[in-house]
Amino acid sequence: ASLTVAEADGDERTIEAALRPRTLDEVVGQARVRDQLGLVLEAARLRGRAPDHVLLSGPPGLGKTTLAMIIAAEMSSPLRLTSGPAITHAGDLAAILSGMNEGDVLFVDEIHRMARPAEEMLYMAMEDFRVDVVIGKGPGATAIPLDIPPFTLVGATTRAGLLPGPLRDRFGFTAHLEFYEPHELDLIIHRSAGLLGVELEGEGAAEIASRSRGTPRIANRLLRRVRDYAQVKADGVVTIEVARAALDLYEVDALGLDRLDRSVLDALCRRFGGGPVGISTLAVAVGEERETVEEVAEPFLVRNGFLARTPRGRVATPAAWQHLGLAVPAAAPL
Ligand code: ADP
Confidence bin at 2 (pLDDT 50/70/90): very low
User: Tell me: the pLDDT tens digits for 136-175?
Assistant: 888 888 888 899 999 999 999 998 888 999 899 999 999 9
d(CA 186, CA 30): 14
Confidence bin at 3 (pLDDT 50/70/90): very low
User: If you average pLDDT over every residue of the chain, what do you get?
Assistant: 91
- Ligand 1 center from residue 16 Cα (angstroms): 8
C-alpha 183: how far from chain center = 19
- Is 303 in contact with 296 (CB distance < 8 Å)? no
- Is 56 in contact with 177 (CB distance < 8 Å)? yes
Between 278 and 253, the more confident residue is 278
Read off the pLDDT of each residue in 73-101 and give the average, rounded to a whole number. Answer: 93
DSSP H helices, 52-201, are: 64-74, 90-98, 116-128, 165-168, 182-196
Using DSSP, state whether 106 is helix, strand or coil: strand
Residues in contact with 307: Cβ distance below 8 Å, sequence separation at least 6, in sequence order: 264, 265, 268, 298, 301, 314, 315, 316, 317, 320
User: Tell me: the pLDDT tens digits for 122-137?
Assistant: 999 999 999 988 888 8
Residues in contact with 82: Cβ distance below 8 Å, sequence separation at least 6, in sequence order: 96, 106, 107, 108, 109
Q: Identify which of 66, 111, 186, 190 to mutate to test ligand 1's pocket (most ligand atoms within 8 A of the CB).
A: 66
Ligand 1: residues with CB < 6 A are 16, 19-21, 27-30, 60-66, 156, 188, 216-217, 220
Identify the active-site residue in 104, 109, 258, 261. 109
What is the residue type of 85?
Answer: P
Using DSSP, state whether 200 is helix, strand or coil: strand
pLDDT value for 251:
86
What is the dihedral sign for C-alpha 86, 291, 177, 260?
positive
Q: What is the DSSP letter of 268?
A: I
Buried b (16+ CB within 10 A) or exposed e, 7-20: ebeeeeeebbbbbb
- The verdict on ipTM greater than 0.95 is yes
Q: Which of 10-24, 111-125, 205-219, 228-242 bottoms out in mean pLDDT, i.e. has the lowest?
A: 10-24
User: Tell me: the pLDDT tens digits for 290-302?
Assistant: 989 998 999 999 9
